Structure 1
Amino acid sequence: MSSAEQNLITRLRLLPVVLGIGAAVLASGCSAGQITQTDTQVPAVNGSMGTVKQIAVRDVQLAFPAGKTYFSKGESASLLLTIANSGDATDKLVAVSSPQFGSGAQIVGDASIPGFHAISATATAVTPVSTTSPTATSTTGTSTTGTSTTGTSTTGTSTTGTSTTGTSTTGTSASTTVTTTTSAPELPIGSIQIQLVGLTADKLLPGQTVQVTFTFANAGDLTLNVPIAATPHPRDDK
């Protein structure tokens, strides 16, 4: 047998060994490291999610509009979400705002989140209170001394139940969006309701998102792009 034939037989005998080693390397590469199929997977939910410090906000959605397929200008929308606190100290959701809802937000219930606990927000039909509207004040060249006014308006300024003594304000202007927190003893422990008030666009359709900022007492701000939840009604295939 020639040397060339011997070399060919040797290579053929080593081929299964080489193939086996290569298969083992590929298998180990698919199950570990940064190229795994699971390193970029996210939870199978429709809503947005984000984390700020020890606070995690999960599955944030706008509740599907009742009795219609979109939100109209001026309407309110309920937020659906879960807030989890992975820290030791209690935190609290103190404000919610959105540039697409010009009249602020209304939080109903106790929005405190104890350490290693979670709370959830469910849909609400609560009527927005008047204090959720933006408050704009402008006073020019006025002076009030020892007066008390209730429900009066002067030069674009509205004052309710306030008392001012010896003050003078010239050329000032302020605009504030208020988040109103309302107690609701009927809500279960760990459950709140959040309502964005006063849609500024003509329509808000499924598939569109709105920017919502959540402000926590300790963790700070978290801003998310929030979609509309899927319709609860069954699809008509006819």
Structure 2
Amino acid sequence: MLPLSARRSAVRPSRLATAAATIGIAVALGTTGCGAGQISQTANQLPAVNGANVNIDALQLRDVQILYPEKDAPTVFGNGGPFELAFVVANADQTAYYRLKEIKPEKGSVEFVEGSDSAARVIAPGQALSSGTPVGSVRDSEKTVTAELTGAGDTVAAGLTTDLTFVFEKRESNGSWVPAGETTVQTPVDAGADLERQDVARNAEPTFYNQHHGEGDHGESEGGASEAGHEEGGGH
């Protein structure tokens, strides 16, 4: 049997080797984690906007949303509009010209109140076309239009999305316009600037909201709950 000093000498190198291996693994994992974090942060970054983002060919649709009505919102939602649309379409191609032909909603129709002339909706190479300005956003586009959705029925409601299909054309070398494809965007409703906080969950359908929000039924149900609680308390 080895003396105590010899055993300590034999154990010391083993402990040093284990510690060195542990430090090496930790450094390797730390380096890998840092690199992975950097890749995910740069590769998956999206603009800090509330709307939807979609790409089609060289066109980039950004911040697509339905603006919350500034006046008499319950009536506007009940009538299915008119709702102003907000979006930015950027042309990333450096030579091709595109044109926004039309926007097709799930129900109703979209009219270009400003930009009804198709020439006003042409997007030059490296340029952008925008409509509407959401709360807290800044639009810096050379070309602007105003698009309104009407007759949407109950397909538009706060907290839900509705499908808007953007249809585009592309200009050929001879000056003619040909189809350039279309894309359907699941479009949310902008929250607006000053919405009253609702701590009690309710049905998001606009018909339910118009019929029951603020009416006596809600108060009666709360009163009934209080009475029930009082009776239970009396039983104790």
Same fold (TM over 0.5): yes
Q: Which amino acid aligns with 2:101?
A: V
Structure 1 distance, partners of 2:122, 2:150, is: 22
Which of 155, 158, 163 pairs up with 1:206?
Answer: 158
Which of 202, 223, 231 pairs up with 2:184?
Answer: 223
Q: Which residue of 2 aligns with 1:80?
A: 86
Q: Which residue of 1 aligns with 2:22?
A: 19
Q: Does 1:93 align with 2:100?
A: yes
* Matched ranges for 1:26-105 at <5 A: 26-33=29-36, 36-38=39-41, 39-70=43-74, 71-87=77-93, 88-100=95-107, 102-105=108-111
Which structure shows the bigger proportion of residues in strand conformation?
Answer: 1
Q: Deviations over 1:31-80 (max 9, x none)?
A: 33599542444332111010000000001110111224452234221111
Q: Deviations over 1:149-190 (max 9, x none)?
A: xxxxxxxxxxxxxxxxxxxxxxxxxxxxxxxxxxxxxxx841
SS of the counterpart of 1:30? helix
Q: Which residue of 1 aligns with 2:214?
A: none
1:104/1:120 CA distance change after superposition, 3 Å: closer
Q: Which residue of 2 aligns with 1:164?
A: none
Q: Does 1:112 align with 2:119?
A: no
Paired residues, what number?
A: 171
Q: Does 1:190 align with 2:190?
A: no
Which structure shows the bigger proportion of residues in helix conformation?
Answer: 2
* Identical-pair percentage: 22
Higher relative contact order (CA 8 A, sep 6+): 1
Displacement of 1:94 in angstroms is 0.7
Q: Deviations over 1:68-127 (max 9, x none)?
A: 445223422111111110002111101101113x2343352211111111121116xxxx
- Root-mean-square deviation (Å): 2.7
Structure 2 distance, partners of 1:66, 1:16, is: 66
Q: Is the 8 A contact 1:72 1:199 kept in 2?
A: no
Structure 2 distance, partners of 1:106, 1:11, is: 78
Q: Which amino acid aligns with 2:124?
A: P
Structure 1 distance, partners of 2:70, 2:146, is: 16
1:193/1:104 CA distance change after superposition, 3 Å: closer
Displacement of 1:216 in angstroms is 0.8
Q: Deviations over 1:169-228 (max 9, x none)?
A: xxxxxxxxxxxxxxxxxxx84111111121122x73311111000011033101110001
Provide structure 1 residue ranges, at least 5 long, that are not aligned to the other structure. 124-187
Q: Is the 8 A contact 2:128 2:142 kept in 1?
A: no
